[in-house]
């Protein structure tokens, strides 16, 4: 079902100023992550995906607003967008002066990255690949979160992706583990997105005390001043972390 969501944002607070679109995919074929409810935003109809995606991409303004980076997100991996949508993305980049496109995908599809690099290169567009890791704690990531990349080391992942997503704030996670995750992430990847966990009915609980302690810590203040880190928190009332809320 295609949900009514905010599908375009311009993030000019990040050190990497960029327009972000949330497109509709054909569905996540992994579909097992314990914290994920957004995979419902999908359609099995290429025509329906394309109709929404084309309209969303019309919002991209590129050079007109001084932006040359377009971040593509969807309710699955970028490889699960219809290929027709991928053509619209590339054409939009060309028309709007976008020089860099960000594609986010599951580690399962890592071998596809090189083909998309070539596809965008034909139009002189650079691609940056982002992968959801959530944590380097293997037990938490695989046994509890069911993320689906067992045994993948930071070195393995960094061969394919230069940007990763981490997550913090669910019951069972510790502040020490978050620090360890950042130590590893900053040593192996160019950029890190940190999502503050939003609970879903059948998923792990949100640990509000841990989140509050994090926001009050020196570590948080170091992270928000880093040009390599963006923090997202959908439950952040004042929306300091620039996340689009559902319509
Ligand atoms: S891979 Fe992404 S979209 Fe698929 S279930 Fe996991 S978090 Fe959700």
Query: Is it the case that residue 245 has pLDDT exceeding 90?
Result: no
The H or E element spanning position 57 is helix 46-57
The ligand 1 atom nearest the CA atom of 75 = 3
How much of the chain, in percent, has pLDDT values that exceed 90?
A: 87
Tokens of 119: 């596809």
**For the segment 35-47, what is each residue's pLDDT rounded down to a tens digit?**
898 889 999 999 9
pTM above 0.85, yes or no: yes
What pLDDT is stored for residue 204 in this prediction? 87
CB count within 10 Å of CB 219 equals 13
Q: Which residues are near ligand 1 (CB < 6 Å)?
A: 28, 30-33, 36, 39, 75-76, 106, 132
- Domain coordinates of the chain in residue numbers? 8-233
Best of 5, 31, 195 for a ligand 1 pocket test (most atoms within 8 Å of beta carbon): 31
Query: Is it the case that residue 237 has pLDDT exceeding 70?
Result: no
Best of 24, 26, 29, 33 for a ligand 1 pocket test (most atoms within 8 Å of beta carbon): 33
What separation in Å is there between the alpha carbon of 117 and the centre of ligand 1? 22
Tokens of 76: 């699955």
d(CA 30, CA 25): 13
Query: Is it the case that residue 247 has pLDDT exceeding 50?
Result: no
The ligand 1 atom nearest the CA atom of 76 = 3
Can you name the residues that pair with 23 across neighbouring β-strands?
Answer: 74
Residue 236 — φ and ψ, nearest 5°?
-80, 105
Q: What average pLDDT does range 12-36 have in this prediction?
A: 95
What separation in Å is there between the alpha carbon of 146 and the centre of ligand 1? 10
Residue in 61, 73, 34, 224 with CA at minimum distance from that of residue 163: 73
What pLDDT is stored for residue 241 in this prediction? 57
At CA 201, angle to CA 197 and CA 203, rounded to 5? 55
Q: What average pLDDT does range 240-246 have in this prediction?
A: 50
What separation in Å is there between the alpha carbon of 31 and the centre of ligand 1? 5
**For the segment 65-122, what is each residue's pLDDT rounded down to a tens digit?**
999 999 999 999 999 999 999 999 999 999 999 999 999 999 999 999 999 999 999 9
Nearest CA to ligand 1 atom 5: 31
What pLDDT is stored for residue 8 in this prediction? 97
Residues listed for the chain:
247
Residues 6+ apart with CB under 8 A from 184: 136, 154
d(CA 76, CA 68): 24
Query: 8-233: what fold?
Result: TIM Barrel (3.20.20)
Ranking 77-81, 150-154, 230-234, 241-245 by mean pLDDT, the lowest is 241-245
What separation in Å is there between the alpha carbon of 107 and the centre of ligand 1? 11
């Amino acid at each position: 079902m295609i949900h009514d969501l905010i599908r375009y944002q311009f993030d000019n607070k990040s050190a990497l100023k960029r327009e972000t679109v949330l497109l509709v995919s054909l569905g996540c074929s992994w579909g097992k992550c314990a914290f994920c409810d957004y995979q419902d935003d999908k359609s099995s109809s290429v025509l329906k995906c394309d109709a929404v995606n084309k309209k969303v991409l019309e919002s991209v303004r590129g050079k007109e607003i001084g932006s040359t980076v377009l971040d593509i997100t969807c309710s699955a991996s970028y490889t699960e967008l219809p290929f027709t949508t991928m053509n619209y993305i590339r054409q939009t980049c060309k028309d709007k002066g976008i020089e860099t496109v960000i594609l986010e995908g599951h580690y399962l599809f890592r071998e596809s990255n090189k083909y998309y690099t070539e596809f965008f290169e034909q139009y002189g567009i650079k691609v940056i690949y982002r992968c959801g890791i959530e944590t380097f704690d293997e037990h938490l990531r695989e046994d509890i979160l069911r993320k689906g990349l067992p045994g993948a080391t930071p070195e393995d992942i960094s061969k394919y992706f230069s940007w990763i997503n981490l997550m913090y704030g669910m019951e069972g996670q510790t502040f020490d583990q978050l620090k360890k995750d950042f130590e590893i992430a900053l040593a192996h990847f160019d950029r890190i997105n940190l999502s503050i966990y939003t609970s879903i009915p059948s998923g792990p609980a949100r640990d509000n005390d841990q989140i509050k302690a994090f926001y009050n810590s020196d570590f948080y203040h170091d992270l928000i001043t880093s040009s390599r880190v963006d923090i997202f928190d959908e439950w952040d009332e004042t929306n300091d972390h620039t996340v689009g809320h559902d319509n």
